[in-house]
Amino acid sequence: MTGTRALSKFWMLTNDFTQNPFPVLEYVRRESPVRELSMPGGGRAWVVTRYEDAKAALADPRLSRDIHVHFRLMSQRSGRLLTPPAEEANHLANVEPPRHTPLRRAISFAFTPRRAEALRPKVEQIADELLDALVAGPVPDLITGYADPLPVITIAELMGVPASAWPDFLRWSAALRSYSPTDGSGVLDANIQELSSFMAELIARKEREGGEDLLSALIHAAPERRLTPTEILSTGFALMTGGNDTTASLVGGVISALLTHPAQRAELLASPARWGKSMDELIRYVSPISNALQRVTTEPVELGGVTIPSGEVVIISVMSTNRDEEQFPDHPDRLDLDRHKPAHLSFGFGIHYCSGAHMAKVITEIAARRLFERFPDVRLAVDPAELRYQQNVVVRPLEALPVHL
């Protein structure tokens, strides 16, 4: 995109942007890399689009992820008191040091790459069972029948949730995707309460019986790494929301990319050892995360030559950073499985780097590999131009991915 372009004040929130964001982001990176965005209902945010500025913002303690800071700002803007539910207020993504430090230490000790790798056989089993079910349908949708349920069931298994409760987990996960602190219907609150009650009972059972799962590891950790029951409950909610949504978006995006890039798909199928090595480039290209979780400035911060006042929302466009020509000078709009060190920001940077990054890669690798191994002739049932993305300020999920197996 070249020349001058007039953008709506809601430029990042339009459906046109959702469906094809990259030309707009290329323009913004060049012309105004830290750009103002008007928010529905009033207020504004500042969008950071260049890789180096984004990396600096993600590591800057003056850009806060403390959920109480965010809710105070929302209360000021809405004119009514809003308070975060305990289930959302006590996990890594929503706190800052000093509270963040012991939480990070405890989670990192329990949620290890080794634990993720140990789940490979189970993830393969779940993937195969979901694929078996898809065969019976006339035109399978790889989103509703595969990309969405696979992370939910896997994370439930990771936490030691019995298989009998997986259908409820699928329902709760779908409800939590729609959660808004300003929703007044009570429906979402009811789902949160159901999940909270279930998790509290599960935690109590793990306290009595233990096990090899993540919840048991957190509950029975050494005293210096032990979390409170509320923190463990909140961590479970974080996995149910951020973990599921991010990984579902990633699975759908990677499969879609390989369906439309047959040469790269053939490379991977011919050399299975390349799957793991190619995952970062696939993630960079797909950009399953549209934007990092929003920050609020606690004092004035200069980014990209723009001074952002205190008390402002900052949106870090991960999609934009993953196509930044300065960081990825060799055709960033291409999927290149031989790209040297594609250091994307999809899992964040700094103290809020995603603890579940390795788990997400394992699930995505297995999901794509098992699909294409079992159905090497799978193809899209629609023209790629007909695929549509859901509007979402954090993740970038496809609405549907219909295929012929």
Computed over every residue of the chain, the mean pLDDT equals 91
User: What pLDDT does 240 receive?
Assistant: 77
Q: What is the amino acid identity at position 185?
A: S
- What separation in angstroms does the CA of 17 have from each of 173, 251, 340? 26, 22, 29
Band (pLDDT 50/70/90 cuts) for residue 191 is confident
For residues 273 and 64, what is the distance between their CA atoms, to the nearest angstrom? 40
Element (H, E) at 303: strand 301-303
How far is it, in rounded angstroms, from Cα 190 to Cα 27? 43
How far is 338 from 375, CA to CA, in rounded Å?
Answer: 25
How confident is the model at residue 81, as a pLDDT?
Answer: 92
Does the pLDDT of residue 2 top 50, yes or no? no
Q: What is the pLDDT of residues 53-98, one digit of tens each?
A: 999 999 999 999 999 999 999 998 888 899 988 888 888 999 999 9
- pLDDT for 185 beyond 70: no
Q: What is the pLDDT of residue 100?
A: 93
- Tokens matching residue 198: 């279930």
Question: What is the reported pTM?
Answer: 0.93
Residue appearing with tokens 């329990």: 110
pLDDT in tens, 4-41: 567 889 999 999 999 999 999 999 999 999 999 998 87
Q: Is 5 helix (H, G, I), strand (E, B) or coil?
A: coil
Decide the pairing of beta strands 63-64 and 44-48: unpaired
| Secondary structure of residue 382 in the 3-state scheme | coil
b/e burial code for range 128-161 (CB count within 10 A of at least 16 → b): eebbeebeeeeebbbbebbbbbbbbbbbbbbbbb
